[in-house]
Chains A and B, each alone.
Chain A
Amino acid sequence: MIKIVKRDQPSRAIFFLTPVLAIFLTLLAGGLIFYILGFKPFEALKFFFIVPIADMYGFSELLLKATPLCLIAIGLSFCFKSNNWNIGAEGQLTFGAIVSGGVALLFYEQEGFYILPIVILAGAIGGMLYASIPAILKTYFNTNEILVSLMLVYVSKLILDYLVVGPWSNPEGFNFPETRQFSDSARLPLLFEGLRIHAGIFLALAAVVISWFVFYKTYLGFQMKVSGFSLKTAKYAGYKGKKMIVLVFLISGACAGLAGVGEITGPIGQLHREVSPDYGFTAIIVAFLGRLHPVGIIFASLVVAITYLGAETAQIFMQIPKYTGQVFQGMILFFLLASDYLLFFKFKFIGSKK
């Protein structure tokens, strides 16, 4: 007989093993779904997870997709670790893209080394501004940040829609919903000839290092953590708890905004309707799959990025809708949450021992 027993304390090994278990279960369940749909499970999984990254181009695409996911997830980890549920990174990404895109358009057909830094900074500020709305409403008016940040996503997408169709649309663009192409000085440089991977990856890596340092090594990080767990405790310790909440939102907004900059100044080079295939939402899964730890988030962003690529290959070679990618993302989160049960409980086989 199997009995479920509560652990005396959560197992540290299990803490890092459950994401692996979740990925394994996702593959298993994915294989099963393919089988039910009438495909050979192994072949389908191969198309989904191996074929897309089998060549250099595929690998560059993987890094290209992983970059925004990693960047946003790092930002979100600040919020989530301090119990602030910012669900609106997609909106912060979009707004960051709008602001940086607007600045890039100001420099239309101009050249100069100073343009790119300004464009990048504008994106970060845009994301921060947008994230400050739920933060301030939460700290000073007790609103729920989940609802506010989520609803603002749709607002930002509509603003973008309005801009690319209306005032910012390309005058020579035959009424396509897109802006003019940014000048080369406003674009993130490509790293290799013929591949789409761009310098945005360095922004993501810098974010990883900085976030690790701030959260684990500094007094500021400690105060953020305490304030997130309990404002009452923060007050008792003498910290400025409300400011800490606003700060984590700003950090997370800045990261999402930077991801937006990477999208529009990297491969696309202009603003259009769809700046992001829901990176801001998917990054929530990345953050949790990576256990909110900077190194974990790197791996998680790579794993989840494959689901984007795999969905495209599967659509081309197997005529499966690309939304299968979202099914896989959903399954990863589902199995991760389910296997977290093992953190606190263990199975005990009664009869064999004791």
Chain B
Amino acid sequence: MNTNLKISNVTKIYPGCVANDNVSLEFNSGKIYALLGENGAGKSTLVKILSGVVIPDEGKIYLNENNLKLNSPSDAKKNDIGMVFQHFNLFETLSVFENLIIDSDEKREGIREKIESIMRKYNFSIDLDIPVLNLSAGQKQKVEIIRCLMRNPKVLIMDEPTSVLTEQETSELFLSLKQFSEEGILIIYITHKLKEVMDLCDEVAVMRRGKLVSVSEIKNENIESLANKMVGQNLKIIKKKKVKTSSDQLIKITNLNFTSEDPFETNLSDINFSVNRGECLGIAGISGNGQSELFQVLSGEIISDKNSIEFNKNYIGDLNPQERREYLMAFSPEDRLEQAAIPQMAIFENVALNNFKSSNFFNNGLINENKIKEHSKKIISDFNVNTDNIELKSQFLSGGNLQKLIIGRELITSPDLLICFNPTWGLDVGAINYIHETLIKINEQNKSIILISTDTDELLKLSDKISVIHKGKLSKIMNADEVTSEKLGILMGGAN
């Protein structure tokens, strides 16, 4: 049976922004649809409307000509709309089976057979009786998908499903999605990754700033055309010039170990690497494999053995971040809002977080506000932060502007080494380009970078050498021009 889903003139206004501006779209089963847009383009809002989480201000939704009233997620379920969210909604300590039946209103007997038959049909192999916390991200996602399939959905919505998957898991997912589509399930695939759209989908709808900008067939599009539609301007393509890096060693990590008391953290074992001046070392990996711990060990938030880190011929393993900064190291953590900056404080106060003895922000225990403000103004103009009010609380900066401020704060003192962790996570394409250009520039100035990132494309674009972290262990260090994303994917999955 054919399914037809129609969104008609949907508008949703939040205080201060129009998330969906009169959006109309039509979907038919048998095809896979991509909903493409940058962060904040309104695609998540649209999907939340379809799944009953958000109620639109105006507009209607029709499924096979029936006007749907979606006032809650359970209404969506009743109307055979299934949704797999970006963040998993699973109980980690319950078993897979318990997670699957927890919101099911079917009779208990026979349900296990039903689940097993679904798994056989789509070639999923997951042990139903182990706790969910022992599953990989890809397996957890399969559990979510099975949970939707148990209700025989007509529509399956996937919200940025590949952000936590390896290359291999992604291709498995794509195979399954194609199989679902052939069986008549209407698939709506939300993403901002252009390559996935080209690989998987039949039709693509592009959203920008709450508006639907185009609907077209994939065969008439290519990556560049989609990127330009998504961003609304022609993007310049950034490429790192291959320069000969020096053999002058800047930082050397020897036999570094970290054992955490927290069971949710990853232990690091036997980390060894070195970075030369002017070089960018990329560290790839699926999130949760020890990247955060590695960042903290490098920044000094976690103190280690004095001799395990040699920086510029000094042993600094036992120094805290402030002390390491005096040796010209700089750090840009992953979490912009909870760690790198304090949203409730003014821009200039955030600038003062990166404090050197020589910067004279604080003299004799007193705040030197003029000095800090002067410095802040320089960062704002040098790094294109789009504001002229340094007294503004930093929560009012967009993600991109905040990241520029943070990178600017760290770089304006011209450090020898910048350690950054997912510097472009969640940013729009324009800001990503700016950050990438900046990172390339500092390599050209013979400064070094350690780039810990979960974005493989970013790593391949910016790194001179790449290593992969898996379960707290680093793979051997490879030259970036010798690796491909497929090879990285295999290493990220834990194979040798």
Chain A residues in contact with chain B, CB under 8 A?
4-6, 8-10, 216-222, 225-226, 229-230, 232-233, 235-239, 345
Main secondary structure of the interface of A (DSSP, over half): helix
Residues of A contacting B345 with CB < 8 Å? Answer: 225-226, 229
Distance in angstroms from A268 CB to nearest chain B CB is 39
Q: How far is the CA of A238 from the CA of B303 in the complex (A)?
A: 11
Contact A9-B396, Cβ < 8 Å, known A232-B335, A237-B354, A238-B320:
yes
Cβ-based interface call for B48 (8 A): no
Measured in the bound complex, the distance between the Cα atoms of B396 and A8 in whole Å is: 8
Contact in complex: B366, A219 (CB < 8 Å): yes
| Complex-state Cα separation, A150 to B352, whole angstroms | 35
Cβ of A218: which chain B residues have Cβ within 8 Å of it?
365-367
* Cα distance, A4 to B338, chains bound together (Å): 29
Name the distance in Å between A108's Cβ and chain B's nearest Cβ: 42
Chain B residues within CB distance 8 Å of chain A: 15-16, 299-301, 320-323, 325, 331, 333, 335, 338-342, 344-345, 349, 352-355, 362, 365-367, 392-393, 396
- List the A side residues contacting B349 at CB < 8 Å: 222, 225
CB distance from B163 to the nearest CB of A (A): 23
A-B contact sample (17 more), CB < 8 A, given A225-B349, A230-B338, A233-B340: A8-B396, A9-B393, A10-B393, A217-B367, A218-B366, A219-B366, A220-B365, A222-B349, A222-B367, A226-B342, A229-B342, A232-B335, A233-B341, A235-B321, A238-B321, A238-B322, A345-B15
Chain B residue nearest to A219 in the complex (CB): B362
Q: Is the CB of B339 within 8 A of A238?
A: no
What are some 8 contacts across the A-B interface (CB < 8 A)? A4-B15, A219-B366, A220-B365, A229-B345, A230-B339, A232-B338, A235-B301, A235-B321
Kindly state the separation between the CA atoms of A4 and B353 in the bound complex, as whole angstroms: 36
A216 to B366, CA, bound (A): 9
Known: A226-B353, A232-B338, A237-B355. A8 touches B321 (CB 8 A): no
Choice from B321, B331, B333, B366 contacting A217 with Cβ under 8 Å: B366
Q: List chain B residues, Cβ under 8 A from A219.
A: 362, 365-367
Most buried by B among A217, A221, A222, A232: A222
| Residues A236 and B367 in contact, CB atoms below 8 Å apart | no
User: With A5-B16, A8-B396, A9-B393 given, is the CB distance from A236 to B342 under 8 Å?
Assistant: no
Asked if B352 and A236 make an inter-chain contact with CB atoms under 8 angstroms apart, the answer reads no
Residues of A within 8 A of B362 (CB): 219, 222
**Structural contact, A222 and B338, CB atoms closer than 8 A:** no
- The answer to whether B338 touches A233 (Cβ under 8 A) is yes
Q: Do A236 and B321 have beta carbons less than 8 Å apart?
A: yes
Nearest chain B CB to A343 CB, angstrom units: 12
Contact for A233 among B300, B339, B392, CB less than 8 A: B339
CB distance from A80 to the nearest CB of B (A): 13
Report the 4 A-B pairs with minimum CB-CB distance, sorted nearest first: A238-B322, A6-B15, A219-B362, A238-B321
| Nearest chain B residue, comparing its CB with the CB of A5 | B15
Once A220-B365, A226-B353 are accepted as A-B contacts, the answer to whether A236 and B340 lie under 8 Å apart by CB is yes
Chain B residues, Cβ within 8 Å of A221? 367
Chain B residues whose CB sits within 8 angstroms of the CB of A216 once the complex forms: 367
- A236–B366 contact, CB under 8 A? no
CA–CA, A232 and B396, complex, Å: 21
Chain A residues with Cβ below 8 Å from B340 are 233, 236
**Which residues on B sit within 8 Å (CB–CB) of A5?**
15-16
Shortest distance between the CB of B375 and any CB in chain A (Å): 15
Q: State A6–B300 Cα separation when bound (angstroms).
A: 40
Query: In the assembled complex, how far is the CB of residue B99 from the closest CB belonging to chain A, in whole angstroms?
Result: 28
* In the complex, chain A residues whose CB is within 8 Å of the CB of B339: 230, 232-233, 236
| A residues near B342, Cβ cutoff 8 Å | 226, 229-230, 233
Q: Which B-chain residue is minimally distant from A237 (CB atoms)?
A: B353
- Closest approach, in angstroms, between the C-beta of A76 and any C-beta of chain B? 18
A347 CA to B448 CA, complexed, in Å: 51
Q: Are A6 and B366 within 8 A (Cβ)?
A: no
Residues of A within 8 A of B341 (CB): 233
Q: Give the residue name and chain of the B residue nearest to A83 (CB).
A: B344
Q: How far is the CA of A232 from the CA of B336 in the complex (A)?
A: 11
Residue of B nearest to A226 (CB): B342
Q: Are B16 and A236 in contact (CB under 8 A)?
A: no
Flag if B322 contacts A237 (CB, 8 Å): yes
* B16 partner, pick from A8, A233, A235, beta carbons under 8 A: A8
User: How far apart are the CA atoms of A163 and B467 in the complex, in Å?
Assistant: 68
Closest to B361 in A: A219
CB of B402 to closest CB in A, whole Å = 13
Distance in angstroms from A9 CB to nearest chain B CB is: 5
User: Given the complex of chains A and B, what is the CA–CA distance between A225 and B350 in angstroms?
Assistant: 11
**B153 to A: closest C-beta gap in Å:** 36
A229 to B342, CA, bound (A): 7
Q: Which residues of B contact A6 (CB under 8 A)?
A: 15-16
Query: Is B323 within 8 A of A238, CB to CB?
Result: yes
Instruction: Enumerate chain B residues within 8 angstroms of A232, measured Cβ to Cβ.
Output: 335, 338-339
A229 touches B16 (CB 8 A): no
| A236 and B299 contacting across the interface, CB-CB below 8 Å | yes
CB of A291 to closest CB in B, whole Å = 14
Distance of B481 from chain A, by nearest CB (Å): 34
Closest residue on chain A to residue B321 by CB atoms: A238
Q: What B residues does A233 contact at CB under 8 A?
A: 338-342, 353
Given A226-B353, A236-B340, A237-B322, decide whether A9 and B392 contact each other with a Cβ distance below 8 A. yes
Distance in angstroms from A259 CB to nearest chain B CB is 27
- How far, in Å, is B346 (CB) from chain A's closest CB? 11
What B residues does A220 contact at CB under 8 A?
A: 365
Q: List the A residue with the shortest CB-CB distance to B354.
A: A237
Q: Which residues of A contact B338 (CB under 8 A)?
A: 230, 232-233
Highest count of chain B CB atoms <10 Å: which of A9, A220, A229, A233: A233
Bound complex: CA A233 to CA B338 (Å): 7
Chain A's closest residue to B396 (CB) is A9
* Residue of chain B at shortest CB distance from A213: B366
| Chain A residues in 8 Å Cβ range of B320 | 238
Q: A45–B396 Cα gap in the complex (Å)? A: 43
In the complex, the chain B residue whose C-beta lies closest to that of A9 is: B396
Contacts of B331 in A (CB 8 A): 236
- In the complex, A236 Cα to B325 Cα: how many Å? 11
Closest beta carbon of chain A to B110's beta carbon, Å: 45
Taken together as a complex, chains A and B put the C-alpha atoms of A230 and B342 apart, in Å, by 7
Q: What's the minimum C-beta distance from A35 to chain B, rounded to whole angstroms?
A: 37
Specify which chain B residues have a CB less than 8 angstroms from the CB of A9 in the assembled complex.
392-393, 396
Q: Which residues of B contact A236 (CB under 8 A)?
A: 299, 301, 321, 331, 333, 339-340, 353
Residues of B within 8 A of A345 (CB): 15
Give the distance in Å from the alpha carbon of A225 to the alpha carbon of B352 in the complex.
12
The docked-state distance in angstroms from the alpha carbon of A248 to that of B334 is 29
- Give, as a whole number of angstroms, the nearest-CB distance from B292 to chain A: 11
